[in-house]
Amino acid sequence: MNVDLSKLELDEGWSDSDDTRQMKFGFPVHAGTGAASTSIVYVDLEAGTHVGTHPAARRRPYSSSREPRRPPSPASGRGSPKGRSR
């Protein structure tokens, strides 16, 4: 799949409490463009600006081509709090 980023329409995001937190962003790859199970976000930042962080964000970038791990099912017995059995 080829994507021409110069033709991508970008939305704008900003923070009312931090003038340096602003960005333009778009999604060049997603289900609507033919991707079966992938999406990509493109972010355009001006010098001196940032996207900020989310309190629940990971501390390191994450990328994976594998299927996400699913939590163990209750029937497996794994994932139960210590000291409790089912």
What pLDDT, in 10s, does the model give residues 63-81? 555 555 555 555 545 444 4
Q: What pLDDT, on a 0 to 100 scale, did the predictor assign at position 79?
A: 46
What does the DSSP 8-state code read for residue 73?
P
Q: How many domains does the chain have?
A: 1
In a domain? residue 3: yes
Which residues form the domain of 33?
1-51
**Does the pTM of the predicted model rise above 0.75?**
no
Question: How much is the average pLDDT of 7-26?
Answer: 92
In a domain? residue 24: yes
In a domain? residue 27: yes
Instruction: Note whether 67 and 47 are within 8 A (CB).
Output: no
Q: What are the pLDDT digits (tens) for 17-61? A: 999 999 999 999 999 988 999 999 999 999 999 988 877 665 555
In a domain? residue 6: yes
In a domain? residue 64: no
Q: What pLDDT, on a 0 to 100 scale, did the predictor assign at position 1?
A: 76
Instruction: Give CB contacts under 8 A, 24+ apart, made by 23-32.
Output: 23/49, 23/51, 28/3, 29/1, 29/3
